Chain A
Amino acid sequence: EDQVTQSPEALRLQEGESSSLNCSYTVSGLRGLFWYRQDPGKGPEFLFTLYSAGEEKEKERLKATLTKKESFLHITAPKPEDSATYLCAVRSYLKTSYDKVIFGPGTSLSVIP
């Protein structure tokens, strides 16, 4: 069964303390992996799309990487405004129907000043 998991469930960092969030997936035929950021009371906001192993994308303090089994979201020198829930979503190939996108449960990041 296709599955997306994220770890840790919650992460507390001091301002400036770099770390990584993990997204692991088991899907039949990866077609793309998306990272989103979700602030409390808001809908998810798109960050990155990765398509193939070895690919990397960067935006400000965030860098996303992709392997054949997992993706990492690296946060360098985080600031309090980076506090949010980070969601990953995997697009997988279905022979008989439209592709589908499976969302992970998210990692809640808190950055303490």
Chain B
Amino acid sequence: DVKVTQSSRYLVKRTGEKVFLECVQDMDHENMFWYRQDPGLGLRLIYFSYDVKMKEKGDIPEGYSVSREKKERFSLILESASTNQTSMYLCASSVGGGFNQPQHFGDGTRLSIL
């Protein structure tokens, strides 16, 4: 079974802090994704990566950056956290081929920015 592990289940940070969310997958998947999930809005794609050191903006990249130095690890960075970034963050991975394959999700990080 594919396992996608997110480093924290719950995180509380202050406005202006730089925040790192980490995600690791163990199935050698080429693609990795970061989403945020808010009630009534569904999952919205922040960034995705189709290879090491490669990244593409999703629908809502403003205020975020990402890093993929190793194939199994994809980090989401909030450069200067703001209260409107309080949300559930979900990481996912899939085999290659763009968005053709189903995505495997981690259990999420619930981030609160105070």
Query: Chain B contacts of A4 at CB under 8 A?
Result: 42
Contact of A87 among B42, B45, B108 (CB under 8 A): B42
Tell me whether A105 and B45 are in contact (CB under 8 A).
no
Check A100/B107 contact, CB under 8 A, given A32-B100, A43-B4.
no
Interface residues of chain A: helix, strand, loop or mixed (majority): strand
Tell me whether B99 and A91 are in contact (CB under 8 A).
yes
A contact residues, range: 20 to 34
B contact residues, range: 20 to 34
Tell me whether B42 and A44 are in contact (CB under 8 A).
no
Tell me whether B42 and A104 are in contact (CB under 8 A).
yes
Check A46/B103 contact, CB under 8 A, given A98-B56, A99-B98.
yes
Query: Chain B contacts of A46 at CB under 8 A?
Result: 102-104
Per-residue 0/1 for A27-63: is the Cβ within 8 Å of any B Cβ (1 yes, 0 no)? 0000110100000011111100100000000000000
Query: Chain A contacts of B41 at CB under 8 A?
Result: 105
Q: A residues engaging B (CB < 8 A)? A: 4, 31-32, 34, 41-46, 49, 87, 89, 91, 97-106
